[in-house]
Amino acid sequence: MKLVQLGQSDLHVTPICLGTMTFGEQVNEADSHAILDHSLARGVNFLDTAEMYSVPTKAETFGSTETIMGNWFAKHPGARRKLVLASKVAGPSRGMPWVREGKGMTAQDIAHSCEASLRRLQTDVIDLYQIHWPERHVPAFGAVYYDPAKETSSTSIHEQLDAFDKLVKSGKVRYIGLSNETPYGVHEFVRLAEQHGLPRVATVQNPYCLVNRTWENGLDETCHRLGVSLLAYSPLGVGLLTGKYDASGLTGPGAPEGTRLSAYESARKQRWGRPEALAAARRYNQLARDNGMTPTQMALAFCYTQWRVASTIIGVTSVTHLDENLNAWGTTLSPEVLTQIDAIRWDMRDPAL
């Protein structure tokens, strides 16, 4: 895989990134380390994590993913130099008081979170430090509409950038990014950074897959013109686009055990658990089979080959799943298949938005 540049930074990463939010909940430490070993051996140089992981988030496992990764770095002293490491500072609590109290996200919050992540990760620097979700009250994680009446923002974007500037100047962070952002947010972060000589965002990490192509409704042009790269997460729609729920549904007889959607009610209550999302996924999955591909191959190829995507974040629970995801690299989709994909989207739109 040829390395790609992230935004206007000097970070060059593989177009596949290993996401780690399953480490510490669905995947124990030993198996997590085996996945990290194999990922490095297969040539992936990009890892993504977050302070709030593992997922589903809860007080008992808060920070566990970073701790598991830090223990792996300690066992493999040379690995850290070979890898681009991304983590995230959580936005306002949204019902998770173990992350932080209060509605805002102050400069002190950002600094404290970064220090804690560095300790857990057992590293001196985070290559890409991202805001996990906006401090502003914007639609995210399945919410559809912006409602100004619900706005509780108390930390300006300028203040947030000032906090990141201090982290960059102190050598604790190299570059910054956003996640679950809107066109307004990206423009404002870039505008203020350029106006005041503050760190410029290199990336935005948002959902992008066959059942959620909302990125194409304005954010793609925004980021293309501003020179900001997309890190696409949930390319398999949290498993909907693997085909494993096609026959059984998300729960009940025959449903796969131990998956996020079958095991965790909190995951089913979000966008990925909507009946419309499963209905659309079944149509895409059948299209893949009709054209000699597995559903996983087609769904990943859709992301891997999009000009909009710099790197696709894959989340796995085993070395076998990792190999399946990596082996999909190089799969191409014919113009006819792409036309049929667009036809399904026209009928089903973006049910997991």
Q: Which residues are catalytic?
A: 53
For residues 185, 186, 189, 193, the Cα torsion angle rounded to the nearest 10 degrees is -160
Taking alpha carbons only, the member of 266, 201, 272, 261 closest to residue 233 is 272
Residue in the block written with tokens 């739109």: 349
Span between the terminal Cα atoms of the chain, in Å: 30
Contact by Cβ (8 Å): 88, 50? yes
Are β-strands 84-89 and 126-131 bridged in parallel, bridged antiparallel, or unpaired? parallel
Taking each helix axis from N to C end, the angle separating 319-327 and 29-41, rounded to the nearest 10 degrees, works out to 30
Question: CA-to-CA distance for 181 and 250, rounded, in angstroms?
Answer: 28
Close Cβ partners of 105 (under 8 Å, ≥ 6 residues apart): 89, 90, 91, 92, 131, 135, 155, 160
Q: Rg of the chain's alpha carbons, rounded to an integer?
A: 19
Q: What is the DSSP string of 89-127?
A: E--S-SS-TTT-SSSS--HHHHHHHHHHHHHHHT-S-EE
DSSP secondary structure string for all residues of 273-330: G-HHHHHHHHHHHHHHHHTT--HHHHHHHHHHT-TTEEEEEEE-SSHHHHHHHHHTTT
Instruction: Extract the tokens encoding 105.
Output: 């996200």
